A and B are shown apart, each in its own frame.
Chain A
Amino acid sequence: MAEPVLAARGLSKRFGGLAAVDGVSLALQAGRIHAVIGPNGAGKTTLVSLISGELEPSAGSVMFEDLEIAGFPPARIARLGIARSYQRVNIFTGFSAHENCRLAAQSRLGGGLRLLRPARAERDLDAAARHALRLVGLDPGGRATAGNLSHGEQRQLEIAMTLAISPKVLLLDEPLAGMGASESARMTKLIKSLAKDHAILLIEHDMDAVFSIADQLTVMVEGKVLETGKPGAIRKSRAVRKAYLGGPA
């Protein structure tokens, strides 16, 4: 197998006595979708937050390419090229869809005196925003206020914002949450197509979607990895069936 783009080893997070994530290891490959499934409270979102830097790991390491990034602040991790989306829509509701993506793209510029340029004159940011919006299937002009978009469109926008920072790794936390059937199908297709240029960590409850697009699956239960493997192998696993999928053991 190729070198992983991002590899977590023995990642743990304890809140007081509770181990929300307990010794989790997984590796993301370029061009592949690695899905993490598990019952509510298994620690999936906590795992994403440990990788994105929003939570500091109690133990373990996260290697991104050749860099140890565990404990880096979230802004630095994002600038390295690791973008996350949120289970609950997390956008700038007062801005237009286009401005949401434009602002996301602006983060690539970093700090310095360049920031004193008039925002309107930055055509390459406009282009980046339009590109991201087009990728997810939203209107590239996107003048409507983000807060007024439908739930499905807000989810698409959420993904567009993560794409606008041109990341190498996408951490998608339940991108299908609260979506209707047709919206779900479209989003699933989108995620599949994004795998071409990104390494993707996908947290999702929609099993049909997960088994149709994941290249690799990790099952988490109570903060621990129960099993990792190809979707076919996971489907057959007795332990997974018993703990999670609900089929006969």
Chain B
Amino acid sequence: MKARASIEPLLLALALVALALFPLLGAKFYLQLFAKIMIMAVFAMSLDLLVGYAGLVSFGHAAFYGIGAYMLWWLSPQYEAANFWLTLPAAMAAAALASLAIGLLVLRCSGIYFIMVTLAFAQMFFYFAAGSKFFGGSDGVYVYVKPVTGFLDLGDTAQFYYLALAAMAGTYLLLRGLIGTLFGRALLGIKSNEPRMRSLGFSTLGYKLAAFALAGAFAGLAGYLDAAQYGFVNPDLFGWRLSGMALMMVILGGMGTLYGPILGAFALVLLQDTLSDATKHWLLPLGIFIILAVLFLPRGLSGLIKRAEGKRG
């Protein structure tokens, strides 16, 4: 692992510079699209902490995305701007608390049961929001005024783009740091062989719960930014489609790498976007692409980088 210097940090730094310079030439439409992709990347990375590092395949991760989004609406005065620095931590904390509570229940299951139970919880949120007058029902609710940060104007496309970029880079660095801690090592051990971890003296439920809550918080961050970008929140943000999209980004990009889900988010959304422009039967080629990717890239797009490194070394 440490034997050979990796080219990954260099590639990531280059990608960061490219993304930072992008607003100089990108059209407004693409800035909006890329901001949306980077928000999805935050969401996918948070899921990768569960899937790729703790071995917990959640199919209900959108529950916490939705909570982050609805929190911004709920905390915003109707015709005035909310304070970004107060509402963002509150939204993340709410998502973390919800995942702590749900985690206590669902983390007793594993394998296929875990997938089904997480899906069931997210669908409960979906139907609750869709059926509740307070939360706007299936039509959703509007955040009329974007939150104020003090120095960034979130109504400005380029400035919002930089906020999304900062969120993505910050999430990556924080989660990367976390994986390198003793806690991160224990998570990898749990993914590899949980019964053995218990017999070595690790109370594995506590570790999984902490990871679940943390992943929930970052999903909440992504949901908050989504609501801030579009000013519109509806129950679909809790839906299984979104959970499934995030899972697909993680798997397509390569789980357990953190930067893989970023690649996955870009690949999936851009592909969806270009294909749906080209043909109305865009789901067919997209499906074929995903099947081929799973067949030939078992470690995802990030596996291509690893393969290139292998040849070089």
Contact = CB atoms under 8 A, between A and B. Distances in A.
Given A92-B189, A111-B206, A115-B186, A165 B200 contact: yes
Given A52-B199, A75-B201, A75-B204, A119 B193 contact: no
A74 B195 CA distance: 9
Contacts of A161: 200
A177 to B, nearest CB: 17
Interface string B157-192: 000000000000000000001101111111011001
Contacts of A95: 188-189, 192
Please indicate which of the listed interface residues A78, A84, A102, A161 has the most CB atoms of chain B within 10 Å of its own CB.
A78
B200 A76 contact: no
Given A75-B201, A75-B203, A90 B196 contact: yes
Contact of A74 (B182, B192, B198, B206): B198
A73 interface: yes
A118 B185 CA distance: 10
B114 interface: no
B200 to A, nearest CB: 5
A58 B75 CA distance: 53
Interface residues of A, number: 36
B128 interface: no
A118 B180 contact: yes
B181 A106 contact: no
A171 to B, nearest CB: 10
B182 A109 contact: yes
B180 A120 contact: yes
Given A73-B203, A76-B203, A115-B181, A106 B186 contact: yes
B202 interface: yes
B180 A78 contact: no
Interface string A152-175: 000000000100010000000000
Contacts of A119: 180-182, 184-185
Contacts of A143: 3
A117 B181 contact: yes
Interface string A83-100: 110000011111100010
Please indicate which of the listed interface residues A93, A108, A111 has the most CB atoms of chain B within 10 Å of its own CB.
A111
Nearest to A145: B1
A104 B195 CA distance: 13
A168 to B, nearest CB: 13
Given A90-B193, A92-B193, A95-B192, A107 B184 contact: no
Contact of B201 (A92, A107, A122): A107
Nearest to B181: A116
Contact of B183 (A83, A108, A115): A115
Contacts of B203: 73, 75-76, 111
A63 interface: no
Contacts of B192: 92-95
Nearest to B189: A103
A183 interface: no
A192 interface: no
Contacts of A117: 181-182
Contacts of A76: 201, 203
Contacts of A122: 182
B257 to A, nearest CB: 15
Given A91-B193, A111-B206, A106 B199 contact: no
A54 B188 CA distance: 21
A120 B185 CA distance: 10
A205 interface: no
A156 B185 CA distance: 22
Nearest to B204: A75
B217 to A, nearest CB: 15
The 9 A-B residue pairs with the shortest CB-CB distance, nearest first, are: A78-B201, A107-B201, A115-B183, A79-B201, A75-B203, A92-B192, A115-B182, A74-B198, A107-B200
26 contacts: A73-B198, A74-B198, A75-B198, A75-B199, A75-B204, A76-B201, A78-B200, A83-B199, A90-B193, A90-B196, A90-B199, A91-B193, A93-B193, A94-B192, A95-B192, A103-B186, A104-B200, A106-B182, A106-B185, A106-B186, A107-B202, A111-B206, A116-B181, A118-B177, A120-B180, A165-B200
